[in-house]
Chain A
Amino acid sequence: MTAFYLINLSVIMGVLALAMTLAFVRFALGPTLADRVVALDMMTIIGAGLLVVAGVVFGGPAFLDIALMLALIGFVSTAVFARYIERRHGP
């Protein structure tokens, strides 16, 4: 693995971290609960992508399994939050 390759992958991880920060700003601002849930879902997906790139950088294919689990948990939590928002509003 050459240095150029490694530097590019590190910059890509930085770009993903910047995207996660922007999603976190929306999570902190979000006027309603549904906006916050959307931002949280996107932060989970970006985290899975960050883990995938970390798997390339650190040479550990096991990172992929953790990313898979993170994506799955993000979907389930989004579905449960949507159900909770509807249930809280009325019967």
Chain B
Amino acid sequence: MIVARQVLVLGLAWAGALLTLVAAIGLLRMPDLLSRLQVSSKAPSVGVSSLLLALALHFGDAGLWLRSAGMVGLLFLTAPIAAHLIARAGFVTGTPLAKETAIDPAGGQAPGS
């Protein structure tokens, strides 16, 4: 029972750490502000949520479960807002885009679609 719980904790922690590492590699290698933002706003919140789940499972305390659930909610609530604010600031100030990135002038609402 205890061994199974430890294996579960280690699996969750490894998943979180590897997701975060992949996100960091993506942040370093992506060509563009917007693509970097796309990487850095999703993966770390999932990775850190996995680490939080591992911590709550390791201690198994009701208060810790509650606090880590609150932190998961906070991460999933604030990461898209921060990404939106930075993307808006970068777009307004005219950050150079990579040559693969295209701007849709109709904003995804082309007539007839």
Residues of A within 8 A of B (CB): 2, 5, 8-9, 12, 15-16, 18-20, 22-23, 25-26, 31-32, 34-35, 37-39, 41-42, 45-46, 48-49, 52-53, 55-56, 61, 64-65, 67-68, 71-72, 75, 78-79, 81-83, 85-86, 89
Interface size of B by Cβ–Cβ distance < 8 Å?
A: 50
Q: Which of B22-67 contact A (CB under 8 A)?
A: 23-25, 27-28, 33, 36-37, 40, 44-45, 47-48, 51-52, 54-55, 58-59, 61, 64, 67
Identify whether the interface residues of A are mostly helix, strand, loop, or mixed. Answer: helix
* A32 contacts B13, C-beta separation under 8 Å: no
* B24 contacts A78, C-beta separation under 8 Å: no
Complex CA–CA separation, A20 to B51 (angstroms): 15
* A45 contacts B86, C-beta separation under 8 Å: no
Selected from A34, A41, A67, A75, the residue in CB contact (under 8 A) with B95 is A34
CB contacts (< 8 Å) of A38 on chain B: these are: 27, 33, 36-37, 40, 86
